[in-house]
Chain A
Amino acid sequence: MRAVTDHEPSISLTYQAVGHRFERRALFAGLSATFQRGDVVAVLGANGAGKSTLLRITAGLVRPTSGTVDLRAGERRLTSAEHRAQVGYAAPDTLPYRPLTVGENVAFFAKLHGVTPEPDLLDRLGLADRVDQSVSELSSGYVQRVRLALALLHRPALLLLDEPGANLDDAGHQIVAETVALQRSRGICLIAANDPRDIAHGNRIIELGR
């Protein structure tokens, strides 16, 4: 599938009256907003407010109980398959394949996306010297970097980062900052976080639970 960002400057993300509930407990309701290329959106809220769920809904992994989420390239609304293909998603509830090496994970997901990763991707994320290391042998901080690599390798139009600074040292936080800055030029980025360093990247805000 072609990368929307390479050809289409007017990518946009629209929430229309989006709400979600788990059985009787309403997480959020009536969320309406539109974001354009260049927007970095900080998703804020207390624990349990639904930040991660909103990111999963935005990725197309969970269907909202009300409302719609549209990713558009110009005027055209992307199909659900096109939508998912344009998402880069890094979250604590996703993991690389632990028996595989970093390089094997990157090669596998690049093959699925039908892309060749940028040559400097692993270098940018501080993973160049870990290519042949099994993910099961990595520290949690390096696993987080691999999550970022897998989310970025197809140059997604929509980058969704759930607690991107979790388990990262100062160098790791700098990588997140550079990643968000790069995504600003490529498309839209949503960051769900409680860490002020992660929140500070946002120029727009969604605040849940208020």
Chain B
Amino acid sequence: MATASSSLAANTATAAAVAVLRKDLLVEFRTRFALAAIGMFALTTLVAVSFAVGLGAAVSVQAALLWVVLYFAALSGLTRGFVAEEDGRTADALRLAASGTAVYWGKFAFNLLLLAALSVLLLPGFVIFMGAEVKSPGLMAASLAAGCFGLTAALTFTAALVAQARSRGALGAVVSFPLVAPLLKLSIDSTQAAMMGDAAGWGPVVTVAALGGIVTIVAVLLFDSVWTA
């Protein structure tokens, strides 16, 4: 009986998480708020950086700039998920209808899709505008995937933490910094290795994925308390 009821609860939570994801995609499709925020930020920054640095900058600079653009674009769009629920006065209905776990996974999946789409669009822009060369495409894909996963885990959780605070914009950046800083450092290292074709870049990829996994586990454990507090 216990197995049957926990299986039913898991199915219900999964269905609710999928419903939250579908709702967020539908709202985003109609309003294009997050897409516009992160897309325009990424495009503007990429063009500005390419004018300033030009073609043929050092690989370390190119890798760092790629992640700086990704991080700030993510910060401007991904942290909106919970704030939009509070500002749109829909958060209370969501709290009553769904478990925190379901809401977390729905928001996490939406943010991950958004950041993955951005990185897929941004990378060719980097190659074209900055003359970046990727000697190990597999490592680059893994580096972007792990980095996006880690950034999404950190930013989704900190966005939920600060959604009800007054000065949440600044607070979100400050709270997320200790989580994001090591992720960015390691992602830059693996991206640089991918550009140079250095297999040593797989180490940081695994570490970033593990860090993202740890943040996700902690977030899932704590999120119910954060969401209903």
Which residues of A line the B interface, CB within 8 A?
1, 56, 59-61, 80-81, 84-85, 87, 89, 91, 93-100, 104, 108-109, 111-114, 150, 154
Contact = CB atoms under 8 A, between A and B. Distances in A.
Contacts of A113: 97
Given A97-B27, A100-B23, A112-B102, A89 B15 contact: no
| List of 5 A-B pairs having minimum Cβ-Cβ separation, nearest first | A112-B97, A111-B19, A99-B30, A95-B89, A112-B98
A60 B88 CA distance: 20
A4 B120 CA distance: 48
B67 to A, nearest CB: 32
B90 A96 contact: yes
A94 B87 CA distance: 10
Contacts of A59: 92, 96
B89 A94 contact: yes
Contacts of B22: 108
B26 A89 contact: no
B60 interface: no
Which residue of A80, A97, A113 has the most chain B CB atoms within 10 A of its CB atom?
A: A97
Contact of B96 (A61, A104, A108): A61
Contacts of A60: 96, 228
Given A100-B27, A112-B102, A93 B96 contact: no
B167 interface: no
Is the contact region of chain B dominated by helix, strand, or loop, or is it mixed? helix
A108 B95 contact: no
Chain B interface residue number, banded: 20 to 34
Contacts of A94: 89-90, 92-93
B12 interface: yes
Given A81-B99, A112-B19, A114-B12, A61 B92 contact: yes
Nearest to A95: B89
A84 B89 CA distance: 17
B98 A100 contact: no
A97 B102 CA distance: 18
A76 B63 CA distance: 59
Given A59-B96, A85-B96, A114-B16, 20 more contacts: A60-B96, A61-B95, A61-B96, A80-B228, A84-B96, A87-B96, A91-B92, A93-B89, A94-B90, A94-B92, A94-B93, A95-B89, A97-B88, A99-B27, A99-B31, A111-B15, A111-B16, A112-B19, A112-B94, A114-B12
